[in-house]
Amino acid sequence: MYFVDRDELVLKLNYITELTRDFQTAEHYALERICHMLIESTVDVGNMMIDAFIMRDPGSYQDVIDIMKMEKVISKQDADMISATLPLRQWMVRDYTHVDHSELKKVFETNINAYQNFQTSVEIFIERELGPVSAFGKGAKNEKV
């Protein structure tokens, strides 16, 4: 197991939850930022989980979601919903002058529940999987498994 800073994980999970709350009222650039950060922060937390529990190495954003589904960090339904939003990342990052905000809003509205469920799913997984050894800590140099 690799050590993962639990405080950092909690900050990122809380950030995702805050983004889902702000999503409903967001428009234009704020909408783009929220949608982009939902994807980025979810994948970031996924990578932290993969590192902490020594799951197989992901090769892409989609792979991170697939691994979390396979390892039962998130449900198949939530994985499918998050996966439906991943292609929009390319739109927001590479083709940002042509983002259709109504389409962006529609796709995320259809799938926002998966992001709303994410924090609870991760917390339940950690609680279920951790025994007497924790891969989550402050990451101090002298910390032992």
14: pLDDT strictly greater than 90: yes
CATH of 4-131 given 1.20.120.580, 3.40.640.10, 3.40.630.30, 2.60.120.260? 1.20.120.580
Span 12-36, average pLDDT: 96
Q: For a pLDDT cut of 90, what percent of the chain falls above it?
A: 76
pLDDT band, very low/low/confident/very high, at 11 (cuts 50, 70, 90) = very high
Q: Regarding predicted confidence, which is higher, 2 or 30?
A: 30
Model pLDDT, residue 97: 92
pLDDT at residue 55, rounded to an integer: 83
pLDDT (0 to 100) of residue 134: 55
Among this protein's residues, is 89 annotated catalytic? yes
List CB contacts of 137: < 8 A, sequence separation 6 or more: 3, 4, 5, 6, 143
Per-residue pLDDT at 56: 87
| Burial class of residue 28, CB neighbours in 10 A (0-12, 13-18, 19+) | exposed
Tell which residue, 14, 119, 13, 8, has the closest CA to residue 74: 119
| Residue 74 pLDDT exceeds 90 | yes
Q: Which of 6, 33, 89, 128 is catalytic?
A: 89
Domain boundaries, the chain: 4-131
pTM: 0.86
In angstroms, how far apart are the furthest CA atoms of the chain?
A: 51
Which value, to the nearest 10 degrees, does the dihedral of the CA atoms of residues 17, 20, 22, 26 take? Answer: 150
Task: Indicate the SS3 state at residue 122.
Answer: helix
Backbone torsions φ then ψ of 24, nearest 5 degrees: -60, -35
Distance in Å from the first CA to the final CA of the chain: 8
